[in-house]
Amino acid sequence: MPVDADTLTRERIPTVIVDGLHIVYRVHGAGSGKGSATSALSRIVSKRRSPSVREVHAVRGVTFTAYKGEAIGLIGSNGSGKSTLLRAIAGLLPAERGAVFTDGQPSLLGVNAALMNDLTGERNVILGGLAMGMSQDEIKSRYQEIVDFSGINEKGDFISLPMRTYSSGMAARLRFSIAAAKSHDVLMIDEALATGDAKFQRRSEERIRELRKEAGTVFLVSHNNKSIRDTCDRVIWLEKGELLMDGPTDEVIKAYEKENKR
Ligand SMILES: Nc1ncnc2c1ncn2[C@@H]1O[C@H](COP(=O)(O)OP(=O)(O)OP(=O)(O)O)[C@@H](O)[C@H]1O
């Protein structure tokens, strides 16, 4: 079938390819009951060696392709491998088997994103901006916007106080605001929407939609199905590290909710 120009311009551009990915954590010195006399005796009797390294196989053979302009929600029960998958896409975890290919630098915006607790919110905005590759001038021009978006100063001059004086919701809002100040090729958000109050959640959802328009691909990990419905057009459902379902948001969330009602 001939391909017309219109079809070509609408052609989907891949931004992230995850190919048969396996991620294994190795926990050192975590042998069960390692020090106890009974476990030592049972090891001697069964001639087992001391189990000093335990392996957690967190992602098991996951394969999918993400395209430019997509917002993809990751869902699944606790410990199903969602955060691990995001960290692997961000290049923070090595693949045991398989591979991740990305176009551009993926940025992971999580509740655990590293900001410095002893520094003021103001210093963290500057450091965070620099860490994302923004220039001093760019940060200066966006500074007020970031602070306003975070709403940190709504109840007093908190931005000039150390981050350790912030509530966990305030800290999460500032992290989100810093990361959302820049357009990203691939932006990954881990539970960011679950923190913050309803007003901030609405603001951040709006910003995610904008970021999506501006550039690349957005991944969102959340236990809040409404956030996923409002933000994402595609959903990947992980369970025990395996990809259970990948499709349009409505279809996947419906199946997920049905499974979880049992
Ligand atoms: N640093 C780590 N070391 C060892 N095991 C880990 C580590 N981080 C996660 N795991 C394990 O990997 C598996 C997947 O965890 P992960 O945090 O990716 O799940 P999740 O789907 O994001 O969970 P949640 O919804 O609770 O945030 C779990 O069994 C967890 O115990």
The residue among 169 and 99 whose pLDDT is bigger is 99
Q: Is the CB of 58 under 6 A from ligand 1?
A: yes
- Residue 78: helix, strand or coil by DSSP? coil
ipTM: 0.97
Residue 258 scores a pLDDT above 90: yes
Q: Is the CB of 129 under 6 A from ligand 1?
A: no
Least confident of 64-73, 99-108, 189-198, 219-228: 189-198
The residue among 75 and 167 whose pLDDT is bigger is 75
Residue nearest to atom 4 of ligand 1 (CA): 25
- Residue 198: helix, strand or coil by DSSP? helix
Q: Is the CB of 162 under 6 A from ligand 1?
A: no
What average pLDDT does this structure show over 143-154?
92
Which DSSP string do the residues of 16-68 spell out, in sequence order?
EEEEEEEEEEEEET--TTTT-HHHHHHHHHHTPPP--EEEEEEEEEEEEEEET
Return the DSSP state at 85. H
Residue 40 scores a pLDDT above 50: yes
Mean pLDDT (the chain, rounded): 85
The residue among 86 and 44 whose pLDDT is bigger is 86
41-63: per-residue pLDDT in tens? Answer: 776 777 666 567 889 999 999 99
CATH class of 5-105+184-261: alpha beta
Q: Which amino acid is at 254?
A: K
Residue nearest to atom 12 of ligand 1 (CA): 58
- Residue 225: helix, strand or coil by DSSP? helix
Residue 2 scores a pLDDT above 70: no
The residue among 152 and 9 whose pLDDT is bigger is 152
Q: Say what percent of the chain tops pLDDT 70.
A: 85
| 57-88 burial code (b ≥16 CB/10 A, e <16) | ebbbebeeebebebbbbbbbeeebbbbbbbbb
Separation of alpha carbons 262 and 259, rounded Å: 6
Mutating to test ligand 1, I would choose from 22, 23, 25 the residue with most ligand atoms within 8 A of its C-beta, which is: 25
Residue nearest to atom 31 of ligand 1 (CA): 79
The residue among 109 and 205 whose pLDDT is bigger is 205
Q: Is the CB of 76 under 6 A from ligand 1?
A: yes
- Residue 233: helix, strand or coil by DSSP? coil
What average pLDDT does this structure show over 156-177?
88
- Residue 100: helix, strand or coil by DSSP? strand
25 CA → ligand 1 middle, Å? 9
The residue among 182 and 83 whose pLDDT is bigger is 83
pLDDT band at 165 (very low <50, low <70, confident <90, very high): very high
Separation of alpha carbons 106 and 93, rounded Å: 13
- pLDDT score for 8: 46
Q: Domains of the chain: which residue ranges? A: 5-105+184-261
64 CA → ligand 1 middle, Å? 20
Q: Is the CB of 25 under 6 A from ligand 1?
A: yes
84 CA → ligand 1 middle, Å? 6
